[in-house]
Amino acid sequence: MSAADVVGPQALPQLQEQVARIIAEAKAQGASACEVAVSVEQGLSTSVRQGEVETVEFNRDQGFGITLYLGQRKGSASTSASGEAAIRETVAAALGIAKHASEDDCSGLADAELMARDLPDLDLYHAWDITPEQAIERALECEAAAFATDSRIKNADGTSLNTHQGCRVYGNSHGFVGGYASTRQSLSCVMIAEADGLMQRDYWYDVSRRGEDLASAASIGRRAAERAVSRLGARPVPTCEVPVLFAAELAGGLFGHFLSAVSGGSLYRKSSFLEGSLGQVLFPEWLSLEERPRIRGALGSASFDGDGLATYSKFFVEKGQVQSYVLGTYSGRKLGMPSTANSGGVHNLFVSHGDDDQKALLKRMGRGLLVTELMGQGLNMVTGDYSRGAGGYWVENGEIQFPVQEVTIAGNLRDMFKQIVAVGNDLELRGNTRTGSVLIEKMTVAGS
């Protein structure tokens, strides 16, 4: 059996058996209910810089985590070991925690009748038969293409190729057991441009379930170099209030902030500016946010959530109006609402978009800031106030004029959501949120 076999779909029966043993041990030690997640994963990581190999690492991890209940008392423990002794000791540790925990009326497994029954194969596993030598060669090719793109590319900050494959099984004392194998492959390049004694860095990358579907090494290197060179001569702009266009690779973060603000944990703790927003119109009426969790081969797909409930397609926002919160079993109980099968997060968020590409959106913006880099974590989830360091390009008459740095963009997320003018068709496909560039009618740009 090859190394790939023991972390791919072939590992599922063994991990399912391990889940059954752990649950049996928890019952034997007196747990009234329990849930277990077991995983095994491995990967290859290679990085090069300035034509030299910096790292070649092979990693392999395994382990399990258990949450068990004594009535309404909860205890959790995890380990990277897998033998019988480790199972006994980890269950005992979780049990000891539960005995000292406070009772919580909302704790416990999801109701047995809600457990997922339909668990289709979502085509998430595609092992990449690439050797360390081939990975190094591809990373070196990527960096060489970057250096060849422009004479102002003087230095490299690292080019990395990473492969990952793994298998995960979740089960609980209701008898539910679900598992899947998955893969994730990526290639990234960071380059440094220099001119007139000043330096700028930028990057590009691609990620896919299939190694064969990654963009070519040369194209990733060229894109990283072009982005770095285009930032040379960056300067601040005077403080102003102008339209702001978030590039597609950053725009997903705006919708991520929305999902965080309507997630159960933030809501029941009353720490969200969107508490009570269900049914409110927060976005323009043409905009919708839809979760599609069961797309075959997609990076965010899953057939069941962290509680064992079947995932399903739903609108979080439809025609501008909030239709659903993001709830798992526990947070739903705290709010007196049913779970939305989102324990562990949202799977494949689709943002509605128009027909304009980024270039057309720049024309539509006229004068303002195209943001291609964000820094810092300047978001107050209680008030919705948003303030982050930014870099990008100044736009006049719909055309990029010069690169910008050392500015801060600020607004309030409620206003920003309402003032979304357009979403482009330049869709970002490398993550869990599928969106194009997002044009916001006005924000404060604080500069010189």
96 in Cβ contact with 70 (< 8 Å): no
Q: Among 340, 336, 337, 335, which Cα is nearest to 311's?
A: 340
CA distance 111 to 338: 11
Final residue of a domain: which of 163, 195, 229?
Answer: 229
As given in the structure block, the two tokens for residue 123 are: 């085509």
169 burial level (CB within 10 Å; 0-12, 13-18, 19+): buried
CA distance 166 to 150: 39
CA distance 35 to 19: 9
Are residues 317 and 218 both part of a single domain? no
Residue with tokens 């006229």: 366
Are residues 148 and 120 both part of a single domain? yes
CA distance 369 to 446: 11
34 in Cβ contact with 59 (< 8 Å): no
Q: What backbone phi and psi angles, to 5 degrees, belong to 146?
A: -65, -45
Which residues, 6 or more positions from 313, have their beta carbon under 8 angstroms from its beta carbon?
A: 290, 291, 292, 293, 294
CATH (domain of 164): 3.30.2290.10
What's the domain range around 359? Answer: 234-448
Are residues 316 and 253 both part of a single domain? yes
Secondary structure of residue 145 in the 3-state scheme = helix
- Domains of the chain: total: 2
Q: Among 330, 324, 145, 132, which Cα is nearest to 222's?
A: 145
Are residues 443 and 352 both part of a single domain? yes
**Which amino acid is located at 269 in the chain?**
R
Are residues 224 and 244 both part of a single domain? no
As given in the structure block, the two tokens for residue 58 are: 């092979």
Are residues 248 and 219 both part of a single domain? no
Residue 2: predicted pLDDT:
38
Q: Among 438, 239, 413, 264, which Cα is nearest to 358's?
A: 438
Residue 417: predicted pLDDT:
98
- Classify residue 261 as left (phi > 0), alpha (psi -120 to 50) or beta: alpha
Are residues 243 and 222 both part of a single domain? no
Give pTM, 2 decimals: 0.94
Q: Among 172, 162, 249, 247, which Cα is nearest to 208's?
A: 162
Final residue of a domain: which of 177, 211, 229?
Answer: 229
Q: Among 181, 182, 178, which Cα is nearest to 310's?
A: 178
Which residues, 6 or more positions from 39, have their beta carbon under 8 angstroms from its beta carbon?
A: 15, 61, 62, 63, 64, 166, 167, 168, 169
Residue 82: predicted pLDDT:
82
Are residues 311 and 179 both part of a single domain? no
CA distance 266 to 383: 12
User: What are the mean pLDDT values of the chain's consecutive 10-residue runs (448 residues total)?
Assistant: 63 96 97 97 97 96 96 96 93 97 96 94 96 98 98 97 97 97 98 95 97 98 98 96 97 97 97 97 98 97 97 98 98 98 97 97 98 93 97 97 96 98 96 97 94
CA distance 223 to 171: 44
Listing DSSP states for 81-126 in one string gives --SHHHHHHHHHHHHHHHHHSPP-TT-SPPPGGGB-----------
DSSP state of 50: T
CA distance 116 to 179: 12
CA distance 170 to 35: 7
CA distance 235 to 394: 10
CA distance 376 to 380: 12
Q: Among 120, 119, 163, 165, which Cα is nearest to 11's?
A: 165
Are residues 371 and 274 both part of a single domain? yes
153 in Cβ contact with 228 (< 8 Å): yes
CA distance 45 to 71: 44
Final residue of a domain: which of 229, 246, 274?
Answer: 229
- From residue 151, give the alpha-carbon distance in Å to each of 58, 157, 229, 320: 35, 16, 10, 48
As given in the structure block, the two tokens for residue 17 are: 């058996």
Are residues 220 and 241 both part of a single domain? no
As given in the structure block, the two tokens for residue 212 are: 């064969």
Report the run of H or E that residue 180 belongs to, with start and end: strand 177-195
CA distance 57 to 68: 36
CA distance 29 to 21: 12
CA distance 59 to 44: 6
Are residues 373 and 425 both part of a single domain? yes
Are residues 277 and 419 both part of a single domain? yes
